[in-house]
Structure 1
Amino acid sequence: MTATAPAGRRPVITAWSAVSPFGIGRAAFTEGIRERRDTTKVLGPSYEKVPEPTACLVPGFDVRSALGRKGTRSMDRVTGLTVTAVGALLGESERNQRVGTGEGAAFALGTTTGSAQSMMDFTRDSLTGEQPFFVDPAQFPNTVMNCASGQSAIWYQLKGPNTTIAGGRAAGLHALNYARRLLASGHAESVLCGTAEEFSPARAWLEHHAVSQDFPGTAGSIPLGEGSSMLLIEPAGADDQPVLAEILAVELGVVLGEDVRAALSSCLRRALAQAETTPDRIVAIARSSSTDRAGADELLAIVDELGETGAVDLTPHDLIGDTGAAAAGFQTTSLLAYAETHPAKERHPAAATARIGLITSVDRTGSVGCALLRLY
């Protein structure tokens, strides 16, 4: 189900930030995308017991170093990444702080499980301790998937609706659509909309076994990545809005049987109709591009519905790895970073606001989706 705002009053993205393998903050991400810099690194001694020797990690990230000692003693990595991303966005300007916090500020976070490592560690302690209840109670909140969004609300006074949405690689699109619905229904005046995923031994082994079992021969073909992206979304119309993109359409679907191609094609057709646009307006595409059969079908669906558009391929997975639940969020920020470094007149001299970016997502669990953004 998707929400449709009246034409001319679609929500807009007014700010964004990211904590990614490129570094912390919007500038670091924009520079990495512009340079097309590979962030794959050989893992150090602290990650000896993982199935693959490389990954794409946020460089030098440590929760206490990033956020200080107060309130972080029991904070896990995915929560730290999320809280840092929110802080980077809100700290960028006084306007972001004013619009993005308070009673009317909602928070929507896309994830899959939250922290698999926290869940496994807590469960292991209950099984190996002298008594099942001899566990650290301070660690229990980390086992709940909405821990990161809850901590973000506490840290930054986000007093509106607070929601965590599970959706695999498409989680960012689910969160984006939920943000539109919050604004359209009047339940929020602004929405911080983000995604988050951590790298950990637990996630590495879960991904290794899932991929090698379901798709033999593909395990380890793309290193795992991590990070958190964050968007500030508002209703259009405020006098002081620094509009970066307009959300034209978000469409989500479910694969019936194994026909990913048909499911995504249907989403693309609906999105183009909802946005009242044509494929020739699309100047940039960011795919989830997994290495399994679903990823191949994703590309086929795009060709089926768009043909040869000549659009720039901004798919970020080759640079920052398989970021799991954070993937669609980083696809979105890739489009925004591209728009920032390529002024509209370079692509469309006759119509500075005519260029559109496309995000597509497929997940092995059967979730598919796409979004169209008018890039400014």
Structure 2
Amino acid sequence: MSGPAAALSASPAGTGPDQVRGPVITGWSAVSPYGIGRDAFVQGVSSGRATVSVLDTERWPGPDELACLVPDFDVREVLGKKGTRSMDRVSGLAVTAVRELIAESEGAGLPAGGEEVALVLGTTTGSAQSMMDITRDTLIHEKPFYIDPSHIPNALMNCAAGQCAIWYGLKGPNTTVAGGRASGLLALNYARRLLTAGRAHTILCGAAEEYSPARSWLERHTRHPDENATVLGEGCAVLRLQPPGTHPHPLAELLCITTAITHPHHITTTLAHTIKRALHQTRLNPHDIWAVSPSTPPGTTADHERHALDLIFTDHTPHHIPAPGPIGDTAAATATFQITTLLSHHQQHPQPPNRIALITAIDRDGVLATALLRLL
């Protein structure tokens, strides 16, 4: 095997930072209830401060009293008035996160003109609020086609990714991946495949979720009784993924991603099997894992995740990197925020290189994903 596919094959256990074979994370940024930008997120993770706020019911006329919102986030104030008149919240969050990452990437080998820059964005449904607003307009207006045409793109699941590409001239592949709470890892796996196929030189890969009355009502009617205490959050986190050797100071190597779909009653055994597949593919064993970051979904689904990890780590207890719970249930963005939390922790508490971390992500409908990262 030669070319990009060979360069991006999974690294076996024991290789050093100078022997990286897999794609590497070379930068990241986030827009979260901690604030806008990487520094705000790192400081928030370090402090562990709460971000829950009481909702203004006039602006957020939904069933929730509390939520974790990006502070003072208004699309037109953050991005300016040009091109934002009809931009919805999830697109604004994604465009802002990509802006922050591109600003942080100056001088980091990002190709000029965006010719070889791809974007992969994870989501649940895109903007549920935009979908419901258009549906409502078709029902209440004199005729069903009396709607604002500028709002129609917002109802498409890939609108946020498309807006990011338009705003910043990203001309590589542009993809939206929907997989609930596992979306961040599914998007990262798609990005890995784009690099392996040589379809792009740099990939901006992340996931986004907005808070809205529509989402709060959907959650109220679909969540299980054991999830009723959930506080919804929002945000977008974006990683920069590049081939090895591109960046002088990569943050982490992506060793492997494994995925599965199962019945919700079989999450424990299926997740354990999915983790074993990841370890087998990378020639690692449970004792090689330095840290674990579980997604800790609401309700009893978190128990299934914990039991699966107990099956794997029977006589070894890895370091625990908790999911960023203080920012609320960020749904599709959860797994990417797990990765940025891991990288934030590593930045604040540097460890010797080659430490291996396991990320697990579970959606209550049975979509599972795991990732193995080697911190550099």
TM-score by length of 2: 0.92
Is 1:107 the equivalent of 2:115? no
More displaced stretch, 4-13 vs 118-127: 4-13
How do 1:170-249 and structure 2 match up within 5 A? 170-211=182-223, 215-219=224-228, 221-238=229-246, 240-249=247-256
Partner of 1:333: 340
Distance apart, 1:292 and its partner CA: 2.5
Distance 1:14 1:78, change over 3 A: same
Distance apart, 1:282 and its partner CA: 2.5
| 2-structure distance, mates of 1:49, 1:168 | 24
Partner of 1:375: 375
| 1-structure distance, mates of 2:113, 2:258 | 28
Is 1:59 the equivalent of 2:67? no
Q: Check whether the contact 1:47–1:201 (CA below 8 A) recurs between aligned residues.
A: no
How do 1:236-275 and structure 2 match up within 5 A? 236-238=244-246, 240-256=247-263, 258-275=265-282
| 2-structure distance, mates of 1:35, 1:283 | 23
Q: In the comparison of the two structures, how many residue pairs are matched?
A: 362
Distance apart, 1:39 and its partner CA: 1.0
Distance 1:313 1:36, change over 3 A: farther
| 1-structure distance, mates of 2:32, 2:186 | 20
Partner of 1:5: 9
> What is the RMSD of the two structures over their aligned residues, measured on CA atoms?
1.7
- The residue identity in structure 1 corresponding to 2:115 is E
TM-score by length of 1: 0.92
Runs of at least 5 residues in structure 1 that lack an aligned partner in the other structure = 345-351
Q: Check whether the contact 2:295–2:360 (CA below 8 A) recurs between aligned residues.
A: yes
Q: Check whether the contact 1:145–1:164 (CA below 8 A) recurs between aligned residues.
A: yes
Q: Check whether the contact 1:197–1:324 (CA below 8 A) recurs between aligned residues.
A: yes
Question: Which secondary structure does the structure 2 equivalent of 1:371 belong to?
Answer: strand
Distance apart, 1:290 and its partner CA: 1.3
| 1-structure distance, mates of 2:147, 2:210 | 23
| 2-structure distance, mates of 1:332, 1:265 | 20
| 1-structure distance, mates of 2:375, 2:111 | 21
Aligned equivalent of 2:291, options 255, 274, 284? 284
Question: Which secondary structure does the structure 1 equivalent of 2:257 belong to?
Answer: strand
Deviations 1:250-287 (A, max 9, x none): 11001146200111111100111222223233233222
Identity %: 50
Runs of at least 5 residues in structure 2 that lack an aligned partner in the other structure = 12-19
Deviations 1:171-200 (A, max 9, x none): 001000001100001111111001000000
Q: Check whether the contact 2:60–2:213 (CA below 8 A) recurs between aligned residues.
A: no
Question: Which secondary structure does the structure 2 equivalent of 1:249 belong to?
Answer: strand
Q: Check whether the contact 2:226–2:299 (CA below 8 A) recurs between aligned residues.
A: no
| 2-structure distance, mates of 1:369, 1:247 | 14
Distance 1:257 1:77, change over 3 A: closer
Aligned equivalent of 2:47, options 20, 27, 35? 35
